[in-house]
Structure 1
Amino acid sequence: MLKIQFKKTDFKATKADLGLVFIPKKNLKQKWIDSKNFKNFGYEGEGIFLDQQAHILYVGVQDLNVDALREASFQAVNFIRKMPFKNLKLGIYGDNEIMQGIFLGLLLGMYEFNQYKSKKNIPTLKEIFIVNEGITKTIPKNLEKDISTAEILAQSLILARDAINTPPEDATPLFLAELAQKIAKENKLTCKIGDEKFLAKEKMGAFLAVNRASVHPPRLIHLIYKSKKPKAKVVLVGKGLTYDSGGLSLKPADYMVTMKADKSGGCAVLAIMNAVAKMEIDIELHGIVGATENMIGGDAYKPDDVLFSREGKSIEVRNTDAEGRLVLADCLSYAQDIKPDCLIDFATLTGACVVGLGEYTSGVMGHNEELKTRFENAATRAGELATKLSFNKHLKKLIDSKIADICNVASSRYGGAISAGMFLSEFIREEYKDKWLHIDIAGPAYVERDWDINTYGASGAGVRACVQFLLDFIKKD
């Protein structure tokens, strides 16, 4: 992680290997910036311009808002990370929220998943100097605290990304359980790990069925953080499919690649627990992860099977590749016993959500429109894309079963993200209907290209949005 230092000197007087300057198109000429070379090189505030003579990296932005500066910071560090610069200096570009966004971009620009490479590119950049000059003339109050928050978010996102990117040969349910124990030890959290005997005792028949063909035993992970004076009790549930072959409803080869990322919801929950504990938010927070594989074999659960869930409802299986909702059904049942003020699940649940919203946007579902709006707004403020999807009474009919209480897939290919959310709703008790949110992160969880402040692969989707939601939730409640 980059080291951050505050300097009382101005931009020109501060010694550094490189200066980082953001240039809005509307204002190429700024008093504190030497822009004499702009005309010589034809620079008009677009893209990145490295002035080697002045040792300044100019990064063009559309505007000096938090979203533009966060992404520009990421691009800047990503650009120079392989260059021989040990430190860089940076001015002040706005209030604490803007500066926090800038530093989150800078810190994540250093990220690369290279654990499995024989030759690793080790960045030389180690320090960032914040100088007492810029768009505003003084360093904002409490900036150190907000930058510390950026460091916590970056570290938590990297934790999630590393876990999601780890291949399935290593990232088994036991791997996730050990990661949870490590997080618990580091942050003094309570950690409970339930094995297959525990799941059987809890009558989690749907969860156990998904695991049947795997050589790796399942685990139910339960982390607990409780501040001294919690203002609310919230439970998070994450889908932790460490690999999803589709089961007997086998995925095509091209669709099986990247299924190591089907644990993204569970990894997001672990990362949120880590961030909330380090930020010492006044809340009681529970993180529950259903960790298993969905494989093929002689003991695999089958289309036509009828499973019995912890909540007591029977489920007709018509497609074994709709397994995440089976695991979540039992985990959500377990979560409601904790009697939360708010219950949120995160899952890479449906390809239909990606088709409908694209790769970069999460779907927000539930019965409480105000709660959905609050999460959507929190995501926007945190720099994530999320949009509300509405339940539809006509789609509900598509998951009816002739032989069981409910079917695990809809009888139509259309509206799959919503019908999957409505399936989960069947396992939410009446008193928690208005307290529950379902977040489908199938689109942004894992993208095979750089985008926004994310490198190739896992993004940690849901982490920033949820942390912001929790901060807002305890303020209002």
Structure 2
Amino acid sequence: MIKTTELKINAAKDPRKVRCDALVVAVGQGPDGPKLVDGSLGGKALQALSRSLGVLGITGAADEVRRLPGTDEFHAEVIVLVGIGRLSGAEPAEENLRRAAGSAVRQLRGTGHVALALPAASVRAAAAVAEGAALGAYAYTEHRSAKDAGDVVAAVTVVTPAAGEKSLPAALERAAILGRAVNATRTLVNRPPSHLYPETFAATARDLSKNLPVKLTVLDEEQLAKDGYGGLVGVGKGSSRPPRLVKVEYAPARAKVKLALVGKGITFDSGGLSLKPATGMTTMKCDMAGAAVVLNALLAMAELGLPLKVTAWLCLAENMPSGHAQRPSDVMTIFGGKTVEVLNTDAEGRLVMADGLAAASAEEPDALIDVATLTGAQMVALGSRVSAVMGDDGVRDAVKAAADRAGELFWPMPLPEELRPSLDSQVADLANMGEKFGGMLTAAIFLREFVGESNGRKIPWAHLDIAGPAFNEGAPYGYTPKEGTGVAVRTLVAYAEDVVARAG
């Protein structure tokens, strides 16, 4: 069972009435040097501190956290100055607030109660602070023997003039729900493949779904073979731990819109017989991030009570080499009947996703979104912090807008039609490999082949390639820890909220 972070979040107007272990204040980079951005704070001590920032070597750069002794004016053991970056307007952007709050809470591990006195005058700004705090209060400690390894901040108070507004409690609750969903995703990604494989992933999905209004169905290897899920069966053949397809359904009575989510869940990717080099395997426990994202995004939507029907398809397999593994030149039949020639067994994610997309299409949703750590080409094109979104213009642009609102970095990419002929096969309907250059785009074009129709029209679809941003190999930053990041959960929830708003 996943132990999700249970950060207690409340709000207060007056920081002088908050008893806490640490009081966090923002420092920004102004045109004339560092500037204390104290929100609703005042007091002689802070005024004096503001004049001393340069002498203390404080710059206000993002992720900068400095601790100073507390003062008699505030009931805090320490005053913490957190960098909020460049000041370009009257108020910092919501994402800057998220990152500053997350950075402070992440770096204050071992502190019990933190008051965040950042410049958050509105409900939206206060919610951004709370969300950043929830994302920053994370540690993966399942396999640590030290008892204090996961001593994250337990409670935060958001200091804001909006503390008395009626809409704030719901906004803070939403922040807490999103924090739990993202952190559960991170934990799934961080779990070693010795512990997380298709069967245990399915069991964990069932555990996470408890006490929520969702229905969960698991297809094992025998049922997959019987029903014609050739992608999952083929990819999973080389492993002693067989594949699973997990279907999670949230269907409130008042739903007006039907959304389908498909997630890639390769719990470990060795490359199969097209074996990866040793260094290429070291991060491949993260190849199931897409499935973790769609699962926890759906559960967050259910906990928020959003009035739309959502079905998540978790395509789970382990890609291993053995005498039973699929071979280059093998042909498999995907759910629904299309055949694929396997030219490279390390292009396996698109094969299990093809099954999921075809199965999801059979239920004729109003929109279909898939999420996958699909290609190394994504990192070549966009680096390790910007995800790609491709597909039909309407869904693609709506996902981009939702990501912007959520504070996640996505960039729209094209699907050039001249790449499609490179997927032609001499022996099957198509091959699983195509043009070398633009591999991220070719992979998306392959997936598009398995998106079905509804009422004679192609189902609106978008593909999210999160290969780089799903797993942080560098140092922590902002609210983002090392290893699993949970990227795309907040974007999918924001997208669903936007769909509900448009549906009226």
Under a length normalisation based on structure 2, what TM-score does the superposition of the two structures give? 0.89
2:458 aligned counterpart, secondary structure: helix
Q: CA offsets, 1:85-129, max 9 Å, x none?
A: 432223461322222221121122221112112214242743223
Aligned pairs for 1:33-48 within 5 A: 33=43, 34-40=46-52, 41-42=55-56, 43=58, 45-46=60-61, 47-48=64-65
- Distance (Å, rounded) in 2 between the aligned partners of 1:265 and 1:18: 36
- Distance (Å, rounded) in 2 between the aligned partners of 1:336 and 1:236: 10
Moved more, 150-159 or 13-22: 13-22
1:234 deviates by 0.5
- 1:69 equivalent in alignment to 2:97: yes
Aligned pairs for 1:51-450 within 5 A: 51-54=68-71, 55-61=78-84, 62-63=86-87, 64-82=92-110, 85-91=111-117, 93-119=120-146, 120-123=148-151, 125-131=153-159, 136=161, 139-366=164-391, 368-410=392-434, 412-431=435-454, 433-449=458-474, 450=476
The structure-2 alpha-carbon separation of the partners of 1:125 and 1:417, relative to structure 1 and needing over 3 Å to count, comes to closer
1:310 deviates by 1.6
The structure-2 alpha-carbon separation of the partners of 1:408 and 1:196, relative to structure 1 and needing over 3 Å to count, comes to same
Are the equivalent residues in 1 in contact too, given 2:141–2:150 (CA < 8 A)? no
Aligned pairs for 1:9-20 within 5 A: 10-20=14-24
1:139 deviates by 4.0
1:18 deviates by 1.9
1:142 deviates by 1.0
The structure-2 alpha-carbon separation of the partners of 1:89 and 1:430, relative to structure 1 and needing over 3 Å to count, comes to closer
Q: 2:7 matched to which residue of 1?
A: 2
- Distance (Å, rounded) in 2 between the aligned partners of 1:124 and 1:423: 43
Identity of aligned residues (%): 34
Q: CA offsets, 1:245-286, max 9 Å, x none?
A: 100000010111111100000011111121011101001110
Aligned residues: 469
The structure-2 alpha-carbon separation of the partners of 1:76 and 1:203, relative to structure 1 and needing over 3 Å to count, comes to same
Amino acid at match of 2:107: F
The structure-2 alpha-carbon separation of the partners of 1:391 and 1:44, relative to structure 1 and needing over 3 Å to count, comes to closer
- 1:28 equivalent in alignment to 2:40: no
Amino acid at match of 2:219: G
The structure-2 alpha-carbon separation of the partners of 1:212 and 1:230, relative to structure 1 and needing over 3 Å to count, comes to same
Are the equivalent residues in 2 in contact too, given 1:29–1:35 (CA < 8 A)? no
Q: CA offsets, 1:204-255, max 9 Å, x none?
A: 1222111111111211100111122002011111111111110000001011
The structure-2 alpha-carbon separation of the partners of 1:159 and 1:29, relative to structure 1 and needing over 3 Å to count, comes to closer
1:389 deviates by 1.1
Under a length normalisation based on structure 1, what TM-score does the superposition of the two structures give? 0.94
Q: 1:454 aligns with which of 473, 480, 491?
A: 480
Q: 1:50 aligns with which of 63, 67, 75?
A: 67
1:182 deviates by 1.2
- Distance (Å, rounded) in 2 between the aligned partners of 1:29 and 1:317: 57
Amino acid at match of 2:407: G
Q: CA offsets, 1:10-31, max 9 Å, x none?
A: 2224332221112333453756
Are the equivalent residues in 2 in contact too, given 1:74–1:105 (CA < 8 A)? yes
Amino acid at match of 1:87: H
Q: CA offsets, 1:422-447, max 9 Å, x none?
A: 11111122446351111111111111
Amino acid at match of 1:97: R
The structure-2 alpha-carbon separation of the partners of 1:253 and 1:371, relative to structure 1 and needing over 3 Å to count, comes to same
- Distance (Å, rounded) in 2 between the aligned partners of 1:231 and 1:48: 46
- Distance (Å, rounded) in 1 between the aligned partners of 2:16 and 2:482: 36
Are the equivalent residues in 2 in contact too, given 1:95–1:140 (CA < 8 A)? no
- Distance (Å, rounded) in 2 between the aligned partners of 1:45 and 1:305: 57
The root-mean-square deviation of aligned C-alpha atoms, in Å, is 1.8
- Distance (Å, rounded) in 1 between the aligned partners of 2:188 and 2:280: 20
- Distance (Å, rounded) in 2 between the aligned partners of 1:256 and 1:290: 20
Gaps of 5+ in 1: none
Are the equivalent residues in 2 in contact too, given 1:173–1:217 (CA < 8 A)? yes
Q: CA offsets, 1:359-384, max 9 Å, x none?
A: 11111111x21221110110111011
The structure-2 alpha-carbon separation of the partners of 1:404 and 1:139, relative to structure 1 and needing over 3 Å to count, comes to same
2:10 aligned counterpart, secondary structure: strand
2:288 aligned counterpart, secondary structure: helix
- Distance (Å, rounded) in 2 between the aligned partners of 1:189 and 1:290: 18
- Distance (Å, rounded) in 2 between the aligned partners of 1:138 and 1:426: 50
Q: CA offsets, 1:14-63, max 9 Å, x none?
A: 33222111233345375625231343444454433322143311223224
Amino acid at match of 1:2: L
The structure-2 alpha-carbon separation of the partners of 1:278 and 1:197, relative to structure 1 and needing over 3 Å to count, comes to same
1:378 aligned counterpart, secondary structure: helix
Are the equivalent residues in 1 in contact too, given 2:234–2:332 (CA < 8 A)? yes
Are the equivalent residues in 1 in contact too, given 2:65–2:80 (CA < 8 A)? yes
Q: CA offsets, 1:137-159, max 9 Å, x none?
A: 76443111111001000101111
Are the equivalent residues in 2 in contact too, given 1:28–1:44 (CA < 8 A)? no
Amino acid at match of 2:408: E
- Distance (Å, rounded) in 1 between the aligned partners of 2:162 and 2:358: 54
1:455 deviates by 0.4
Q: 2:75 matched to which residue of 1?
A: none
Q: CA offsets, 1:406-426, max 9 Å, x none?
A: 01001x320101100111111
The structure-2 alpha-carbon separation of the partners of 1:45 and 1:358, relative to structure 1 and needing over 3 Å to count, comes to closer
